[in-house]
Amino acid sequence: MCALVAPIAQRGYPPGLACPRFRTLEPNPLPLLTPKQRILLIEDDASGRELAAFNLRGAGYHVDEAVSGENGISLFSPEHDVVITDIRMPGLSGLEVLDRVKQTAPDVPVVVITAYGSVDVAVGAMRAGAYDFLEKPFQREQLLLTVARALENRALRAEVRTLRRSASGVERPIVACSDAMLRQLEIADRVAPTDATVLVTGETGTGKELLARRIHARSRRAEGPFVAVNCAAVPPDLIESELFGHEKGAFTGAHRARKGRFRQAQGGTIFLDEVGEMPHALQGKLLRALQERVVDVVGADTPQTVDVRVVAATNQNLEARVAEGS
């Protein structure tokens, strides 16, 4: 059976099983710098918006037009390659648009448009994360050159991330031959850019850890640590200290402080393999870590904040175990 990425359950053949076709899935290649990218243009001035859209479409780009900041945010998708927004608009301002875009898709470059004499505002926007700015009135060549540079900068950043990912050795190539497994990989790739907690289910040997590594390597946390813990291999009386750490002298034999796996994974991903084997007494503390983003270190007076994404895996039917009360 293939590993399943929650919440969608699909079944298929295990990786490597002989079948009529197979392919190796490697990290996504560098995006081609062809003028077919999708641009979101947010401008409340109708004439300026129509002229800019005309020039962009003439260069071969797909352009989505928005008449306000609110309209632009409703149209925005991480699939957009560049966002161009006016700074001063009624309602949601360009700076607020910039902030929301960066929260949703920090890799999407944002170009701000500012009126003549408002360069200080544009510089402030760049400090807030904008890629560049255009000062009204701007020429067609200025617009197209700025967009091309933004696309090139994004492509170079993607290439750097891919190289760092390869150098880290976290992600491993996956050979998939069944439609079911290919669907699981597509689901993993869709969930990877988010910070959602993920549960991967499947029988032993179906590649659950490979999927977890893939999710981490294609996430915003790819440059952070990937920490794997086999919950079934840690003695029940030690797993709390293993996960959450302890202070020196917290218990007999605690001769030095230990950070614990959650804090070791700070800024990255912790992979809890065989999470179904976790003792009942510890499940409440794990829930607190998931909900509150804090861990209770053994022997410490105050909880410690953690910034960690959790990917868990099991070969058990957890819903059935819950129904049984186990």
User: pLDDT tens digits for the chain (326 residues)?
Assistant: 455 665 333 334 333 333 333 444 444 444 444 547 899 999 999 999 999 999 999 999 999 999 999 999 999 998 899 999 999 899 999 999 999 999 888 889 999 998 866 778 878 888 899 999 999 889 999 999 999 999 999 998 888 877 776 666 677 778 778 888 889 999 999 999 888 999 999 998 888 999 999 999 888 888 899 999 999 999 988 899 999 998 888 888 878 888 999 999 999 999 999 999 888 889 889 999 999 999 989 888 889 999 999 999 999 888 888 887 76
Total domains in the chain come to 2
Q: Is residue 49 part of a domain?
A: yes
Of the residues 164, 190, 215, the one at which a domain ends:
164
Q: Is residue 33 part of a domain?
A: no
| Shared domain check, 263 and 133 | no
Counted residue by residue, the chain has a size of: 326
| Shared domain check, 49 and 15 | no
In the three-class reduction of DSSP (H, G, I as helix; E, B as strand; rest coil), residue 85 is classed as strand
Q: Is residue 173 part of a domain?
A: no
For position 30, what pLDDT does the model report? Answer: 40
E-assigned strand segments in the chain:
4-5, 23-25, 38-42, 62-66, 82-86, 110-114, 132-135, 174-176, 198-201, 226-230, 269-273, 294-295, 304-305, 309-314
| Shared domain check, 136 and 188 | no
For position 168, what pLDDT does the model report? Answer: 63
Of the residues 141, 164, 187, the one at which a domain ends:
164
Two tokens, residue 17: 């099983």
In sequence order, what are the residues at sequence separation of 6 or more whose Cβ sits closer than 8 angstroms to the Cβ of residue 181? 2, 3, 12, 13, 15
| Shared domain check, 101 and 12 | no
| Shared domain check, 312 and 194 | yes
Q: Is residue 29 part of a domain?
A: no
| Shared domain check, 264 and 133 | no
> Is the pTM value of this prediction over 0.75?
no
| Shared domain check, 150 and 184 | no
| Shared domain check, 287 and 183 | yes
β-bridge pairing 62-66 and 82-86: unpaired
| Shared domain check, 202 and 139 | no
For position 273, what pLDDT does the model report? Answer: 95
For position 264, what pLDDT does the model report? Answer: 95
Report the CATH number at residue 54.
3.40.50.2300
Q: How many CB atoms lie within 10 A of CB 45?
A: 14
- Whether the CB-CB separation of 208 and 273 falls below 8 Å is answered with yes
| Shared domain check, 205 and 148 | no
| Shared domain check, 313 and 216 | yes
| Shared domain check, 192 and 232 | yes
* Burial of residue 77, with CB atoms counted within 10 A of its CB: 0-12 exposed, 13-18 middle, 19 or more buried: exposed
For position 5, what pLDDT does the model report? Answer: 61
Q: Which residue range is the domain that position 267 belongs to?
A: 4-22+178-324
For position 4, what pLDDT does the model report? Answer: 61
Two tokens, residue 281: 């007494």
